[in-house]
Amino acid sequence: MKTRSMKTSFAALFAVSAVLAAGLAAAQEPQLNLPRVRLAAGMHQIDAQVASAPDQRMTGLMYRQEMPQHEGMLFIFEQPSQQCFWMKNTLLPLSTAFVADDGTIVNIEDMAPQTLNSHCSAKPVRYVLEMNKGWFAKKGIKPGAKLSGAPFR
């Protein structure tokens, strides 16, 4: 009797482990099918995925191996507040623009991959735009510049 119960216990443990492993593997997939919005920074066009739900914002650009230069991710929060970002499980170096309701860039932070350092907005914002590291600098876009597009109208 003891042997049967141990076999049952091992089978149950194996089943639970398999479910957890499958969930972990699914959780480590990059978000590639979020809604998109067209933004502009002067003459520069941006194709941004929109992360507006809490789980979408929490995953962000984690696990992405690459991202085209004209693409990024726009994080939209319910209300302006100080936003802080880190790079846990994020494989790409990123530049992050913290953006006011009217599209004005408040500050830009460069972030190293797979680090836990906090990078925060200099004042309360509702929007955060992540692009490949150096994108803003290469385009001459600095704090005070304005982004345009549907979210900022």
Three-state secondary structure call for residue 142: coil
For residues 17 and 43, state if they share a domain: no
Report the domain count for the chain: 2
Buried b (16+ CB within 10 A) or exposed e, 126-141: bbbbbbbbebbeeeeb
Indicate if 21 and 91 belong to the same structural domain.
no
Looking at the fold, whether 54 and 108 belong to one and the same domain comes out as yes
Give the sign of the dihedral formed by CA 140, CA 142, CA 145, CA 150.
positive
Q: Confirm if 58 and 84 have CB atoms less than 8 A apart.
A: no
The CATH number of whichever domain residue 133 belongs to comes to 2.60.120.1140
pLDDT confidence of residue 28: 85
Tokens matching residue 64? 């992405």
State whether 75 and 146 are in the same domain.
yes
Token pair belonging to 106: 């408040």
> Is 73 in the same domain as 98?
yes
pLDDT (tens digit per residue) in 116-151: 999 999 999 999 999 999 999 999 999 999 999 999
Model confidence pLDDT, tens digit, residues 18-28: 444 444 444 58
Domain region containing 11: 1-30
Task: Give the pLDDT of residue 61.
Answer: 98
Residue 23, classed as helix, strand or coil, is helix
Q: Are residues 2 and 40 in the same domain?
A: no
Judgement on whether residues 49 and 100 belong to the same structural domain of the protein: yes
Q: Mean pLDDT across the chain, nearest whole number?
A: 88
84 or 28: which leads in pLDDT: 84
